[in-house]
Amino acid sequence: MKSSPALTDVQFRLTAAAVFVAVLPHMLRLPWLISAPVLALITLRWVQRRRSTKRLPAWIKLPLVLLFPVLIIFHYGNLFGREPGSALACAMLVLKLLETDNRRDARAAICFSAFVLMSALLFNQGMWITVLLCAALVILLAALRALESARTQWLPDLRSGAFALVGALPLALCAFVLFPRLASPLWGAPNDTTARTGLGDRMAPGTMQELLIDDSPAFRVVFDGTPPPRDKLYWRGPVLWQFDGSAWTRPEWLASRSGDDDVHVRGARVGYEVTLEPSERHWLLALDVPLLAPQGAVRGADMSLVSRSRVDDPTRYRMVSAPDYVLEPVLDSLHRRLALQLPAGFDPRSRALAQRWRDAFHGDPNRIINAALGMIRDQFTYTLNAPLLGRDSVDDFLFDTQRGFCEHFSSAFTFLMRAAGIPARVVTGYQGGYFNQFGNYWVVRQSDAHAWSEVWLEGRGWVRVDPTAAVSPQRVQAGARAAAGASAPWYQADWLMSIRNRMDLINRFWNDAIVQFNALRQQSLLTPFGVDKAEYPQLMLAMLILGSLLLGLFAWWVMRAPKPAGDALDAAYARLCRKLARAGTARGPAEGPLSLAMRVATTWPAQRNLQELFAQYVGLRYASALPAPERIQNFTRAVAALRLPAATRTARQSS
Amino acid sequence: MTGTAASAIRTSLRDRLFEYAERRLPALTRLKRVESLPIRLDRHRIYVLPTRFGLMLSLLLLVMLLGALNYNNNPALLLTCLFAAAAYQSVFAAFATLNRLDVTALRAEPCHAGDEMYFSIHFHIATRPRHSLRLRAVDAEIAFDLDRDSAATLRIHAPQRGWLRPARLRLCSEYPFGLFEVWSWINPDFAALVYPRLESNPPPLPRSGAQAQQLADRSSGDELAALREYRSNDPPRAIAWKASARRDELLVKEFETPRGHEVVLDYATLRGLAHEDRISRLAAWVCLAEAARLPYALALPQTRIDAGLGADHRHACLRALALAPGAAP
C-alpha cells in the first residue's frame, strides 16, 4: 500500500480546526472532567506540531487511550447511551488528531468530525445552534479541500468550502423535505433525562424561582378568534391538593377521568391551538377551563390535562376552552375531604387567624375570602427575592416575612381557606403571555409560570382566586416581569424582552417547519400534486425528480459555455457571422470582414443591405476608437432584423 | 517473498485486464487513437468515479442519516443532508477541473538513454484556473495547479535510444474534496528523440600518430589564422595572452586545421565490441570531440556524416546514432 503523503502546516491546522469546531458544542455540555483534558490535548497537539513534525511516541498516546474511557465511566457509570457515547466520540476524535500526520489520517479525522458535529444536535435542536453547526461544515470542507493541494494559504480553501456549502443548499433542502421519515424508530429512541426547567407536580416555597427567571418559551398559542382578555389568560397545569406542611403535591390516584357534566359553560367557547415545547413531563397546558382532552391525553377530575406519553418533542394539539364556567357544582365527599386536608401540627398562628375569621364572619365564605385578600393587599410585597421560610412556612410568610411571589401567596391563601373550612386547592400553570403581532400568536415563557388558588363555593363551584393579583395587580395585567420590577434579572429588561419576544417568531417558525416536521406532515406534502397521502414510493420518486432537476441545473451552471470575450459590437458581428454560416457562407478561421464581404457579395448579389452592414461594422470597429453607443445599437438592431435566403448550391460551391 | 510473488501476479493480471479493456473499449482508455494537438478535453472523454475515501464518506453519511431518521431529529437530518449534498455536488467541481482544458503543445529536450527526459506539456485554459491536477505517465507523476496558460514538466525515464513516445498520459484530479476522481487519457501524436547511452569512461579520441603529435604541440603545426573574441566555452590554452593584454579583452587564437586533420569516428574500426557498445562509444566520442572543438566526422554502416563542429552537427551525429538500426545481422 502506498503510504499517504505527510501533511503540510496549512493542512494540519485546518484539520485541527475542524476537530476543534466539532468538539466545541459538546464542551459546553460535558463535565469539566472530560472537557478540560479534551481541550488541553487539542492545544498541546497544536503547540507540539508547531515545534516539530515528528510523530508522537506510543507511550504518550497509549495511556491517553485508556484514560478517557476510565474518566467517562467514572463520571457516567457506563460507556453507552447518548451522553457517555458523545463524550467518548469527542475523546476519540481528539486522540485521532494526536496521531494525524498524513492525509489518510486527516481525512478520517475530518469525517469523524462531521459525525461528532451531528451528535451535538441530539442534545439541542435549537435554531441558532443548528445554523452554527451547519456553518461549521465550512471548516470541514475547507480542511478536505486543503488536503488536495500544497498551498500555503488557507483563505481560498475556506472560500471554496463556503461556496460548496451554499451551492449545496437547494439540494440539501430538497432531500431534507422529501426524504421519507420513519414512522417508528428502528431502534430504541433515547430516554435520557436532562434536567429541564418546567412545571413540576410539587410546589414548595422557592421551587418556582428557577422557573421565573427562565426565559425559554414554554408553549405558543394561536387563537381561532379574538383571544380572551389578558387577565383571563390562566393556563391550567397541575392541580395540587395535598399539603404536608412544606410542599403541595398532587395525589397520583386522582388521575381519574372527568365527565362532561362537571363543567357548565356560561359564555362563549374559545378554540385555539397549542404548540408545547418539550418539557420531559406529562402535563399539557390549556386555557382555564378545558372542555376536552387532546388525543393521547386524559382530562383529570381536577381539569388538568395529562398526556399518556412524555412530552419529549414539540407537541401540537387543538383545544377548546370556556373562560366563563361553573366547575363541579356538586362537590363529592372525597373531593371535599381532600380539599380541606391540612397537616396536623403545622402553622398554629395561621390556623388561629382563620378560626377568628370564621367566627367573626359566621362562616360566610365570601367575607372570609375578602378578609384574606384584604390582608394580603394591605401588608404584603411582591418580589422574586423572597426570604427563606422556616418549618412553619405559612406562619413565617403570613406574619413575619410578608414578601414573596405567586407560590407563597397561593400556598398561604389556600392554607387559610382550608383552615377556615372552605374547600380550596392550588392550581399551577402559566399566566399571561406575549402577543407576537407579526406571527399573530401568543408565546408563553417559563417565566410566566404562576400559581393561584381555587375555592369551592356553594352554587358557584370552583372559583379561581388569585391572591397574587391582590398584592400585585400588575402581575396579571402586565406580566411577571413588570411585577418583578428591580428584582428581575438583567436579561429581562423591558427593551430586551420586547426584542426577544419579536425574535420569537423565528424560533416558532423553526419549531414549526423544521423540528416538528414528521412523517405525518410529510404525507400531506404532495397534496397539490394530487397525492393525498404520500407514502415511501411517492416521496422517493418526488425526491428523485426534484433532486435530478436541481442537479441538472447545477450541472448546467458548471458546464455552461464561458461568455465570449468582447464587447457589444463583437457580439453583434458574431451573430451576423452565425446567420451567414447558417445560410451557407461561413467565415473562415482567419478571414477579415472585407474579404468576407466580397464573398458575400458574390453569393447574394441582390442583398445590398448586407454590404451596408459590413461597411457599418468596418466603420465602427476600425474607423473610430470609441464609437457612439447609438450607432452600435443601430448595427445590432439591423443584424437582428436581417433575414437571409438560403444560398443556392452553386453559390455555396463557388464560395 | 510470497507477497512479492502475489503482487507480481496481481500486477500481471491487472495489466492483462487493462489490455483487454483497451482492445474492447478503445474509447474508454484512448489508447488506440493517437491524436494530433491541440486536444480539448470535454465531456466525451472525461471520466469520473468515486474514490475509496468517497465511498467511506458515503458510508458514514448513511450512518448519520439513519441516526437522524431514527431519533426523528430534523436538525441533525438537515446537517447530514447539507454535508451530503456538498459532498455529492463536488462531482461537478471535479468535472469542471478538466472540462474545456486544452493541451496545446508538447516539448521535450533530447536526452541520453538511461537519463530522465523532461517532457513539458503546455495547457491553455479558456475559463477559470484549475487546481490540484495530476499528470501521470508510465512511471512518473507530478501535481500542479494552472492559474493561467502554462506548462507542466514531467520527468520520464528514457531506457533506450531512438524515438520515445510518452505513451498515453493520464490527467486526473481529486479536486475539490478528494471524494471523486476525474480523469482523462491523453495520447498525443508526439515522440521525442533519445540519444544513445554515453560510454562512461571512453578511450581517447582515435587519431593517427601524426595527429597525436600535432595535438601535443599544436602551435607549431597549426597555422594561426586569426584572433577572435573569447566565447564562453573556449579552452584556456587557446587564449592569446599577449594580444589580450594589449587589447584589454580576452582574445582567442583561431587555428586553421588543414583538411584531413579531422577526427573520423568510424563504426567499422571498433571491432571486438558489441553493436550497442559501439554506438555508445561513438556517441561518447562525439561529445568529447565537440567539447574539445575538434572537427569530427561520423561513419556508420548506413550513413556517413562529413566533418564539422557545432550544436547542429552534434545533433545530426547523435540523431544518426540514435536512429541507427539495431544489431547488425
What ipTM was predicted for this assembly? 0.74
pLDDT band, residue A173 (cuts 50/70/90): very high
CB contact under 8 A, B178 and A164: no
3-class DSSP assignment, residue B248: coil
Residue of A8, A15, A92, A118 for testing the chain B interface, max B β-carbons within 10 Å: A118
3-class DSSP assignment, residue A119: helix
Residue of B nearest to A515 (CA): B74
Give residue A49's Cα distance to chain centre: 39
CB-based burial label for A107 (10 Å; 0-12, 13-18, 19+): buried
3-class DSSP assignment, residue B182: strand
Q: Determine the Cα–Cα distance for residues A562 and A551; give it in Å rounded to an integer.
A: 20
Distance from CA of A549 to the nearest CA of B (A): 13
Question: What secondary structure, in 3-state letters, does A452-510 show?
Answer: EEEEEECCCEEEEECHHHHHCHHHHHCCHHHHHHHHCCHHHCHHHHHHHHHHHHHHHHH
How does pLDDT run across B100-110, given as a tens digit for each residue? 888 888 888 88
Give the contacts of A323 (CB within 8 A, at least 6 positions apart).
A228, A232, A267, A268, A270, A287, A288
Q: Does B267 touch chain A (CB under 8 A)?
A: no
Q: Is the pTM of this model over 0.95?
A: no
CB contact under 8 A, B84 and A172: yes
Percent of chain B with pLDDT over 70: 86
Residue A283, strand partner residues: A306
3-class DSSP assignment, residue A377: helix
Distance from CA of B174 to the nearest CA of A (A): 7
> How many Å is the maximal CA-CA distance in chain A?
129
* Cβ contact A353:A416 at 8 Å: yes
Residue of B nearest to A134 (CA): B79
Residue A563: the pLDDT is: 67
Which three three-digit cell numbers place residue A179? 426524504
Give the contacts of A121 (CB within 8 A, at least 6 positions apart).
A129, A130, A133, B73, B75, B76, B79
* Cβ contact B153:B119 at 8 Å: yes
Residue B53: the pLDDT is: 94
Q: Determine the Cα–Cα distance for residues A359 and A410; give it in Å rounded to an integer.
A: 23
Which three three-digit cell numbers place residue A560? 455552461
CB contact under 8 A, A179 and B81: yes
Helix (H) or strand (E) holding A522: helix A519-523
CB contact under 8 A, A190 and B66: no
B292 residue type, one letter: A
* Cβ contact A121:A95 at 8 Å: no
Q: Determine the Cα–Cα distance for residues B95 and B130; give it in Å rounded to an integer.
A: 11
* Cβ contact A114:A102 at 8 Å: no
For residue A141, the chain B residues in CB contact (below 8 A) are 86, 177
A132 residue type, one letter: L
Residue B29: the pLDDT is: 58
3-class DSSP assignment, residue A63: helix
Q: Does B53 touch chain A (CB under 8 A)?
A: yes
Give me the sheet containing A217-223, strands edge to edge.
A315-321, A270-276, A217-223, A441-445, A434-436
How does pLDDT run across A581-619, given as a tens digit for each residue? 888 888 887 788 888 888 888 888 877 888 888 988 998
* Cβ contact A233:A227 at 8 Å: yes
**Is residue A18's pLDDT more than 90?**
yes
Q: Report the pLDDT averaged over residues B63-73.
A: 87
CB contact under 8 A, A164 and B86: yes
CB contact under 8 A, A169 and B82: yes
Return the ∠ at Cα A415 (arms to A410 and A416), rounded to 5°.
100
Residue of B nearest to A163 (CA): B86
Phi, psi angles (nearest 5°) of residue A459: 85, -20
Q: Determine the Cα–Cα distance for residues A128 and A143; give it in Å rounded to an integer.
A: 23
More confident residue, B253 or A67: A67
Nearest to A172 among B69, B81, B127 (CB): B81
Residue A486: the pLDDT is: 57
Task: Name residue, grid cell 599544436.
Answer: B218
**Is residue B324's pLDDT more than 80?**
yes
CB-based burial label for A495 (10 Å; 0-12, 13-18, 19+): exposed
pLDDT band, residue B26 (cuts 50/70/90): low
Distance from CA of A558 to the nearest CA of B (A): 7
Which three three-digit cell numbers place residue A460? 358557584
Task: Name residue, grid cell 452600435.
Answer: A632
CB-based burial label for B46 (10 Å; 0-12, 13-18, 19+): buried
Residue A653: the pLDDT is: 43
* Cβ contact A543:A178 at 8 Å: yes
How does pLDDT run across A247-285, given as a tens digit for each residue? 888 877 665 666 666 788 888 889 999 988 888 788 889
**Is residue B214's pLDDT more than 80?**
no
Residue A106: the pLDDT is: 94
* Cβ contact B183:B52 at 8 Å: no
Residue B84: the pLDDT is: 95
Q: Report the pLDDT averaged over residues B168-180.
A: 89
Residue A229: the pLDDT is: 86
A282 residue type, one letter: H
Q: Report the pLDDT averaged over residues B82-111.
A: 90
How does pLDDT run across A373-423, given as a tens digit for each residue? 888 888 888 887 778 888 888 888 888 888 888 888 899 999 999 999 999
Q: Where are the alpha helices (DSSP H) in A58-126?
A: 58-76, 82-98, 103-119
Q: Does A168 touch chain B (CB under 8 A)?
A: yes
Q: Does B73 touch chain A (CB under 8 A)?
A: yes
Q: Report the pLDDT averaged over residues B185-196.
A: 88
Q: Determine the Cα–Cα distance for residues A515 and A276; give it in Å rounded to an integer.
A: 12
3-class DSSP assignment, residue A267: coil
C-alpha dist (Å) from residue B85 to A130, A334, A551: 17, 63, 10
Q: Does A137 touch chain B (CB under 8 A)?
A: yes
Residue of B nearest to A144 (CA): B177
Q: Determine the Cα–Cα distance for residues B128 and B97; give it in Å rounded to an integer.
A: 9
Q: Determine the Cα–Cα distance for residues B194 and B191; give it in Å rounded to an integer.
A: 9
* Cβ contact A341:A249 at 8 Å: no
Q: Report the pLDDT averaged over residues A418-440.
A: 87
CB contact under 8 A, B89 and A173: no
**Is residue A154's pLDDT more than 60?**
yes
How does pLDDT run across A198-225, given as a tens digit for each residue? 777 788 877 777 777 777 788 889 998 8
Give the contacts of A186 (CB within 8 A, at least 6 positions apart).
B66, B69, B70
* Cβ contact B130:B152 at 8 Å: no
For residue B7, the chain A residues in CB contact (below 8 A) are none
How does pLDDT run across B277-314, given as a tens digit for each residue? 889 999 999 998 888 888 888 888 888 888 888 889 99
CB contact under 8 A, A176 and B67: no
Q: Does B82 touch chain A (CB under 8 A)?
A: yes
Q: Does A62 touch chain B (CB under 8 A)?
A: no
Phi, psi angles (nearest 5°) of residue A467: -65, -25
User: What angle, 0 to 180 degrees and rounded to 10, lies between the N-to-C axes of helices B275-292 and B311-322?
Assistant: 180
**Is residue B92's pLDDT more than 80?**
yes
**Is residue B257's pLDDT more than 90?**
no
Q: Determine the Cα–Cα distance for residues B135 and B77; give it in Å rounded to an integer.
A: 39
- Omega before residue A289 within 30° of 0, cis: yes
Q: Does B40 touch chain A (CB under 8 A)?
A: no
Which three three-digit cell numbers place residue A621? 470597429
Residue A137: the pLDDT is: 95
Residue A1: the pLDDT is: 43
How does pLDDT run across A563-581, given as a tens digit for each residue? 666 678 888 888 888 888 8
Task: Name residue, grid cell 407560590.
Answer: A407
3-class DSSP assignment, residue A428: strand
Q: Determine the Cα–Cα distance for residues A196 and A8; give it in Å rounded to an integer.
A: 46
pLDDT band, residue B222 (cuts 50/70/90): low
Q: Does A312 touch chain B (CB under 8 A)?
A: no
Buried/exposed code over B8-41 (b: 16+ C-beta within 10 A; e: otherwise): eeeeeeeeeeeeeebeeeeeebbbeeeeeeebeb
Residue A649: the pLDDT is: 45
How does pLDDT run across B43-53, given as a tens digit for each residue? 888 889 999 99
Q: Report the pLDDT averaged over residues A637-652.
A: 69
Q: Report the pLDDT averaged over residues A318-346.
A: 86
Residue A90: the pLDDT is: 94
Q: Does B139 touch chain A (CB under 8 A)?
A: no
CB contact under 8 A, A115 and B81: no
Residue B327: the pLDDT is: 64
More confident residue, B250 or A647: B250
CB contact under 8 A, A137 and B145: no
Distance from CA of B82 to the nearest CA of A (A): 5
**Is residue A192's pLDDT more than 60?**
no
**Is residue A323's pLDDT more than 70?**
yes
pLDDT band, residue A54 (cuts 50/70/90): confident
C-alpha dist (Å) from residue B73 to A87, B166, B203: 19, 55, 84
pLDDT band, residue A651 (cuts 50/70/90): very low
**Which residues of A are part of the catalytic machinery?**
406, 450, 466
Closest CA to B117 of B165, B150, B157, B166: B157
Q: Determine the Cα–Cα distance for residues A273 and A440; give it in Å rounded to an integer.
A: 12
Q: Does A144 touch chain B (CB under 8 A)?
A: yes
**Is residue A292's pLDDT more than 60?**
yes
Number of Cβ within 10 Å of residue A519's Cβ equals 17
Interface A–B counts its CB contacts (< 8 A) at 149
3-class DSSP assignment, residue A584: coil
